[in-house]
Amino acid sequence: MINNQSEFLKHFSADQYYIIHTDLTFLGLYILLLIICGIQSYCLIARRLFHTTYKLYLLAVVLELAGIAFLCTYYIIFALNGVASQGNGFKALSSIIFLLLLILLSKGYTVTRARLKSFSAATIAVFITIYFTIYALLFVFENLFFDPGEVLYTYESMFGYGLVVLRFIGLIAFTYFIYKTVRLYPTKKGFFIILYIMYCVWFISIPIVILLATYAIPKYMREQVVNGFELGVAFRAHIFFMLITWPTKFNKIFPFHVRTNQIVAMAKTGRAGDDTLDKFTHYQYAPKRPQTQQSQIERQQINETPFNHEIPVPIQPSIVPINHNYGCQYNNLYNTAHRDNNLVQNNGGFYDRNDRYIGFNLVKSLPEVG
């Protein structure tokens, strides 16, 4: 028995008619998003801002794309021969990784610090493990006990309600961690407020789905509407994160200001300038190499009218290497570049007049020009 005269829809029940159309649409959108993320990754790598949190985001997007691709394949096969072999594992993994990403960001990981305290790391690991286990049991319960003849949705079980409880716990933790981080780093308030406002919806998306599916959506439309809603929420979350981490001077809430090479230096020497693994300095954002007040004054004086011919030359400071092995190398590099009046120091690193990166800061800062 078939349900529709169309060759493409005849094997689908009424609540599944347009799922394949929705999934194919989001498949195209996620392919486009992944291409844009590849370009963004290249920009972040070039600026040494390709942090672990962005790698987690990239993994979440890839898994979401893989999950949608498998679902599209499943529905196409089902449309052709009526054989079902559905799987949502990749989408579930994407959701779990994105949850981990949001919790880490709320703690300030890679934004205000490079590592978490042992207790915090262990607590987050336990929470994510429980969340993963509940998700796995949900799929097992669905495959073993759901009657294909009934119109049921994934979260209509005790494990589905367990996920709802864990999402609310995650939202409470997300709120508390952001509050603490903003109190310690008010310069990052703009980023964290926007992050919180936009991703509260993501945390409560499952409860919204359950309420809609139970009380508002007719059974003959339930699966296709819930499917479209979930894909829309996930895509909105992923594309918004891409926007707030795009490295451009117009992005005033760009979260990262400490570069990956500085974190490597911290891991080896304990600190890089005033930054340590447990506490970064207070700086609002750095989508590109930030200009210090000194370099801005020098560049402005060089480009001024011909009536101002005198350009102040910085006083040679005494150099005290933090680490003997690195200090000698960068001390010589500093003296050579400084002798030619060709060195600019910025946010934990040395750059020449052409903005080419020379090395991270292992010496004392230059004095103010005056």
How does DSSP assign 210-263, residue by residue?
HHIIIIIS-GGGHHHHHHHHHHHHHHHHHHHHHHHT---TT-TT----S-HHHH
Output the pLDDT for position 144.
77
Measured CA to CA, the distance from residue 16 to residue 38 in angstroms comes to 33
User: Rounded to whole angstroms, how far apart are CA atoms 163 and 210?
Assistant: 11
The answer to whether 174 and 108 have CB atoms below 8 angstroms apart is: no
pLDDT score at 270: 76
On whether the CB atoms of residues 362 and 326 are closer than 8 A, the answer is: yes
Alpha-carbon gap, residue 184 to 108, rounded angstroms: 10
**Per the structure block, which two tokens stand in for 322?**
């933090």
Counting Cβ atoms within 10 Å, is residue 92 exposed (0-12), middle (13-18) or buried (19+)?
buried
Evaluate whether residue 258 is within a structural domain: yes
Neighbours of 267 (CB within 10 A): 12
Residue 23 lies in a domain: yes
Q: Which of 230, 232, 235, 231 is nearest to 207 (CA)?
A: 230
With respect to residue 313, please indicate whether it lies within any of the assigned structural domains: no
Give the total residue count for the chain.
370
Inside any domain, residue 302: no
What's the confidence (pLDDT) of residue 162?
86
DSSP secondary structure letter of residue 345: E
The number of beta carbons lying within 10 Å of the beta carbon of residue 117 is 11
Q: Is residue 287 part of a domain?
A: no
Q: What pLDDT does 211 receive?
A: 79
* Maximum pairwise Cα distance, the chain: 91
| Residue (of 214, 243, 198) closest to 106 by Cα position | 198
What was the pLDDT predicted at 341? 47
What averages of pLDDT result for each successive group of 10 residues across the chain (370 residues)?
57 67 92 97 92 95 93 75 61 94 95 91 96 89 68 71 90 96 92 94 86 79 84 95 90 87 82 77 60 47 44 46 46 50 52 53 41
Is 231 among the domain residues? yes
Q: 249 — phi, psi (to 5°)? A: -65, -20
CATH number (domain holding residue 26): 1.20.1070
Q: Is residue 284 part of a domain?
A: no
How many domains does the chain divide into?
1
Partners of 271 in the β-ladder = 276
Phi, psi of 136 (to 5 degrees): -65, -45
| E strand spans, the chain | 271-272, 275-276, 343-346, 349-352, 357-360
Spell out the residues 6+ positions from residue 188 whose beta carbon is closer than 8 angstroms to its own.
Answer: 108, 111, 112, 181, 182, 255, 284
Residue 190 is assigned to a structural domain of this protein: yes
* Residues 183, 186: Cα–Cα separation, whole Å: 6
Q: How far is CA 312 from CA 327, 338, 340, in A?
A: 27, 13, 14
Quickly list DSSP for 39-85: HHHHHHHHTT---HHHHHHHHHHHHHHHHHHHHHHHHHHHHHH----
For 201, the domain range is 18-262
